[in-house]
Amino acid sequence: MSEIPPGLFTRTADNVGRKTITAVEEVGNGATLIFQSVFWLFMGRRYGQPVRAGSVVVQMMETGIYAIPILVLLNAAIGVMLAIQGIYTLKIFGAESRVTFGIAFAIVREFGPLITGILIAGRTGSSLAARLGTMRINQELDALHVMGINPVRFLVVPALVAMVIMVPLLTFLCDVVGLLAAGLYVQFTLDISLAAYFDQVVDVLSVGDLMHGLGKSILFGVLICIIGVVNGASVTGGAEGVGKVTTRSVVQAISAIVLTDMIFAYIATLG
Amino acid sequence: MSAEQNTEQEFTSVIKVRDLVTHYGTRQILNGISMEVRDGEIMVIMGGSGSGKSTLLRHLMALEAKTSGTMTILDQNIDDLSMQQMFDLRKKLGVAFQGGALFSSMTVGENVMLPLFEHTKLDRMTMDIMVRMKLEVVELGGFENLMPAELSGGMIKRAAFARACVMDPKILFCDEPSAGLDPAVASALDELILRLRDALGMSIVVVTHELDSAFKIADRMTVLDRGDILFIGTPEEIRNSPNERIQKILNREPDSDEVDVDVYLRRLTGEDMYGGAQL
Ligand SMILES: Nc1ncnc2c1ncn2[C@@H]1O[C@H](COP(=O)(O)OP(=O)(O)OP(=O)(O)O)[C@@H](O)[C@H]1O
Ligand SMILES: [Mg+2]
C-alpha cells in the first residue's frame, strides 16, 4: 500500500529543472573561464597584469614534479597488469609473443593518459577546488579584486598553463614507465629480450598513436583545472561547503575525463 | 539632513553615492541610499545586524554590481570606467576585511608586499624596507616570516591593516576592525585608524558594531536601518538626536520586533547570563 506523496512529481520535476539549470550555468562558467584565461595570458601585460613565470613554475612543481612518484608506481603496476592479462589471453591462441602489440597500443593510447588524468584530478584538481573555495570564503578573492589584481590572471592562468604543460609531459613519462615495466615482465615470462621488446614497440607504434594519447592528456589537463576552479569559486557555506565542492570537483573531473576519452577515441578513429 | 545639504559644498568628497539601490537575488538590500565620504574624514557606518552595513561597504569599494543609482569614487563615476581605469582606481583604495583575508599560502611579509610587487617597479630591497615599516606601524615588526596561520586573530587584523596601507591609499575601508578583539587590542586599532587619518590624511570608512569605538574615532556617522539611512551626522548630532530608533541603538536596546536570543535564554534558564545586555 504505497501511496505517492502529493506533490512528489512536481517537486522532482522542479529539482531536475534546477539541477539542469545549474549544470548549464556551470558549463557556461567553465567556457567563460577558458576565454578569460586566454585573454589574460596574452593581453595581461597590456593591462599591467602580467602572468608571472614564477607562479607558473610553482604550479608546475605542485602539479607535476610532486606527483611523479605515485604516477610511476601506478603506471608500472598497470604495465605489469596489462602484460599478465595479455599473455594469459593470448595463450588461448598460442600467440603470447604478440602481446607487445596489445601492451603498446593500450598504454600509449589509453592507460598512460587516463591514469595520469585520473590521478591529477584527484590530486591537483581537488586541491585547486579547495584552495579557491577557501579563498572565496575568507574573502581573499575579494581582497585580490580590491587590490586591483585580477584573480583569473593571478590564480587561474598559472594553474591552467602548468596543467597544459605538465599533464602531457607526465603522460609521456607514464607511457615510458608503463612500457618498461611491461617489458621487464615480458622478458621474465616469455623468451623475449628487453631490447627486442622495445624494437617491437617502436615498430608497431606510430607518431599518431603517441599524439593521440598526448593530445587527449592536454584536454584532460584543461578539464581538471577548469572544473576545479569553477567548483571552488562557487562555494557557499563555510568549511563544509569547501569539502563538498572538493569532492564534487573530483567526481566531475574524473567523469569528464572518461567521457571525453571515449568521444576523443571515437572521433580520432573515424578516419 | 537639511543642515547636511547646506554644508555639502564646503567639503570635497572622495566618495559620493546617490540613490543607491541593490539586490541580492530578488531581495532588495539597500533602498536608495545617498551619502558621501569627505576628504580626510573618518566615516563610521553603524546599524543593526543585517541592516546592510557590509553590503554598503562592498559597494563603496566597487566590489558589487548595483541595481541603480550613481557612485563617484575620487571624482570618477564608476559606471564610466574602462577596465584599465578601474585597475588604476583600485590602487588608490585599501581594504582591511573583517577576517583579515590574508593569503594563507604567503608569509605575512609577502602578503603586505603583494600590492607593491604587483603595481610598482620598486626593487626588492626598497619593498622589503617599506613592508617592514608598515609592519612596525601596526606593531608587527619582526613577524614578516610567519605564516598567517601562526598569528592570533588580533595580529591577523593588524597585518591586514598593514597590507591595506602599503600603497598609501587615498581611501581606507575597514569592516568591523575591532570585532572579537580584546579591549586593549581594539583600542590600539582605534588609535591606529586615527593616526592614519592624521599622519597620512587618509579618508577612512569604518563599519563597526562597537559604540564606544565608533564615538571615539568618528568624524561623522551614517546609521543604517534595514537598508535605509536613518541618520548622517557628527557623533554629537547623533547623541542629541531625538529619533527614537537612534536612541534605541545608542542605549543598546534590542529591536522590539526581532527575537532577542539573550532575553529568551535568560527567561529559559531563569538567570542573568551576562550581567548586562549586550548587542
Ligand atoms: N552573499 C549574500 N547573498 C544573499 N544575501 C546576502 C548576502 N550577503 C548579505 N545578504 C543579505 O543582505 C542583508 C544585509 O547584509 P549585510 O551583511 O550587509 O548586513 P550587516 O549590516 O553587515 O550585518 P552584520 O552587522 O550582521 O554584519 C542581510 O539581510 C543579508 O541576509
Ligand atoms: Mg557585516
Where are chain A's structural domains? 67-270
**Minimum mean pLDDT range among A196-200, A254-258, B177-181:** B177-181
Interchain CB contact of B114 with A (< 8 Å): yes
pLDDT above 80: residue B254 = no
Region B33-56: mean pLDDT is 91
Nearest to A146 among B61, B104, B118 (CB): B61
- Which pLDDT value is given to residue B3? 45
Render chain B in DSSP notation, one character per residue.
Answer: -HHHHHHGGGS-EEEEEEEEEEEETTEEEEEEEEEEEETT-EEEEEESTTSSHHHHHHHHTT-S--SEEEEEETTEEGGG--HHHHHHHHTTEEEE-TT----TTS-HHHHHHHHHHHH----HHHHHHHHHHHHHHTT-TT-TTS-GGGS-HHHHHHHHHHHHHTT--SEEEEESTTTT--HHHHHHHHHHHHHHHHHH--EEEEE-S-HHHHHHH-SEEEEEETTEEEEEE-HHHHHT---HHHHHHHTTPPPTTS--HHHHHHHHHTS-SSSS---
Does B87 contact A49 at a Cβ distance shorter than 8 Å? Answer: yes
pLDDT above 60: residue B278 = no
- Which pLDDT value is given to residue B1? 43
Confidence class for position B274, pLDDT limits 50, 70, 90? very low
- Which pLDDT value is given to residue A2? 61
- Which pLDDT value is given to residue B51? 87
Q: 3-class DSSP state for residue A148? A: coil
**Minimum mean pLDDT range among A56-60, A145-149, B139-143, B248-252:** B248-252
pLDDT above 70: residue A52 = yes
Residue B3 near residue B26 (C-beta atoms within 8 A): no
Does A146 contact B84 at a Cβ distance shorter than 8 Å? Answer: no
Confidence class for position B36, pLDDT limits 50, 70, 90? very high
pLDDT above 70: residue B270 = no
pLDDT digit string, tens, across residues B149-203: 998 888 898 899 899 989 889 999 998 887 777 888 888 888 889 988 888 889 9
Asked if residue B49 has its Cβ within 6 Å of ligand 1, the reply is yes
Nearest to B63 among A138, A142, A149 (CB): A142
Confidence class for position A242, pLDDT limits 50, 70, 90? very high
- Which pLDDT value is given to residue B200? 82
Choosing from B21, B27, B29, B178 the residue with most ligand 1 atoms within 8 A of its CB, the one to mutate for a pocket test is B29
pLDDT above 80: residue B250 = no
- Which pLDDT value is given to residue A270? 83
Per DSSP bridges, beta strands B13-24 and B68-73 are antiparallel
pLDDT digit string, tens, across residues A61-103: 988 888 999 999 999 999 999 999 999 998 888 888 888 888 9
Task: Determine the atom of ligand 1 nearest the C-alpha atom of B98.
Answer: 27
Confidence class for position B137, pLDDT limits 50, 70, 90? confident
pLDDT above 90: residue A56 = yes
Average pLDDT, chain B: 84
Per DSSP bridges, beta strands B76-77 and B68-73 are antiparallel
Interchain CB contact of B87 with A (< 8 Å): yes
Average pLDDT, chain A: 90
Does B97 contact A147 at a Cβ distance shorter than 8 Å? Answer: no
Confidence class for position B269, pLDDT limits 50, 70, 90? low
What CA–CA distance (Å, rounded) separates B233 from B219?
A: 8
Partner A, chain B 151-180, Cβ-Cβ below 8 Å: 173
- Which pLDDT value is given to residue B267? 61
- Which pLDDT value is given to residue A163? 94
pLDDT above 70: residue A218 = yes
Region B110-124: mean pLDDT is 90
Region B207-235: mean pLDDT is 89
Region A221-237: mean pLDDT is 92
Q: How many CB pairs under 8 A join A and B?
A: 56
Which residue has better confidence, A51 or B254? A51
Asked if residue B50 has its Cβ within 6 Å of ligand 1, the reply is yes
Confidence class for position B247, pLDDT limits 50, 70, 90? confident
Q: Is the pTM of this model over 0.95?
A: no
Region B203-223: mean pLDDT is 90
Confidence class for position B273, pLDDT limits 50, 70, 90? very low
Partner B, chain A 29-88, Cβ-Cβ below 8 Å: 47-49
Which residue has better confidence, B252 or A254? A254
Confidence class for position B258, pLDDT limits 50, 70, 90? low
Q: B53-79 as b/e, with b when 16 or more CB fall inside 10 Å?
A: bbbbbbbbbbbeebeebebbbbebebe
pLDDT above 50: residue B279 = no
Compare all CA atoms of chain A with the CA of B164 and give the residue at the minimum distance: A147
pLDDT digit string, tens, across residues B12-24: 889 999 999 999 8
Region B233-244: mean pLDDT is 84
Compare all CA atoms of chain B with the CA of A50 and give the residue at the minimum distance: B118
If 0-12 CB within 10 Å is exposed, 13-18 middle and 19+ buried, where does residue A90 land?
A: middle
Distance from CA of B104 to the nearest CA of A (A): 8
- Which pLDDT value is given to residue B255? 54
What share of chain A in percent tops pLDDT 70?
A: 98
Region A49-68: mean pLDDT is 90
Q: 3-class DSSP state for residue A193? A: coil
- Which pLDDT value is given to residue B2? 44
C-alpha cell belonging to residue B87: 585597475
Choosing from B20, B46, B55 the residue with most ligand 1 atoms within 8 A of its CB, the one to mutate for a pocket test is B55
Task: Determine the atom of ligand 1 nearest the C-alpha atom of B209.
Answer: 25
Q: Which ligand is nearest to the CA of B49?
A: 1
- Which pLDDT value is given to residue A119? 95
